[in-house]
Amino acid sequence: MSTSGAYVYFAATSSIAEHVARCHAKRGVAMVLVGRQADRLDAVAADLKARGALSVDVVVADLADCTKHEVMIADMIRRFGRIELALVAQGVLQDHDELMHNAEAVVHGFHLNATSVISVVHTLAVHMLPNGGGTIGVLSSVAGDRGRKTLFAYCAAKAAVTAFCDGLRMRLHGTGVHVVTIKPGVIRTPMTAGRKIAPISSSVEAAARIIERILDGSRSSVYVPWFWRPIMFVVRHLPEGLIRRSGF
């Protein structure tokens, strides 16, 4: 991967995106951080500059507002000439017990976790096509591989993201625009703090190093860490009755 153009992080203050950006900062590249909280973005920007980033621009934006994606990404292209790499990381993990009684919250969560992600990814691809290509890394999840009663809405949203990225990647084959679907397992981040998590959870630092390597390669859909692939293969093929009784 060349170092021309900008590296852009959507939801840059999310723990995984921030740690991946730290890995990239040492390359001395121009970086753009997108997110809602100006003070947090400024703090992350200062840290990345100290770690070696060539420059760090901050874009304060609510990524849930899909009407703003076109102008925002077009502005980045005009400023930097091209986007070399983008990491799309927005999302929210809701309380699924509460969601059983609130259809509006289910739809809102799906919009944040799926619709807004798909909008950003599609807009990036459209703008990258005539500008020399680039890599779009999209954070999906192992949760998208099968519906679960404990995370039914989150699983649905991640399944939509995964399917969209699979199809778009095939559509873009040979164009120079590469879409990478990244499927983390259970990662210890602020989003999972206070929740019961699996004993095979991974640190966000380790996950970020893996994602850095993935984005430099040519793989299409990758589990993070690797051992989630065989785990989810088994989970996908278990009978629904067994899954239902397991409490999974």
* Backbone φ and ψ of 128, nearest 5°: -75, -30
In three-state secondary structure terms, 208 is helix
How far apart are alpha carbons 143 and 125 in whole angstroms? Answer: 25
Q: How many CA atoms lie within 13 A of 99 on its CB side?
A: 16
3-state SS, one letter per residue, for 151-199: CHHHHHHHHHHHHHHHHHHHHCCCCCEEEEEEEECCEECHHHCCCCCCC
In the set 7, 9, 154, 223, the catalytic residue is 154
Active site residue 154: yes
How far apart are alpha carbons 38 and 6 in whole angstroms? Answer: 20
33-36-37-41 Cα dihedral, nearest 10 degrees: 0
Helix axes 116-128, 152-171, angle to 10 degrees: 10
Distances (CA, A) of 152 to 3, 97, 118, 185: 40, 10, 19, 16
35: tokens are: 């997110």
Tell me the catalytic residues.
154
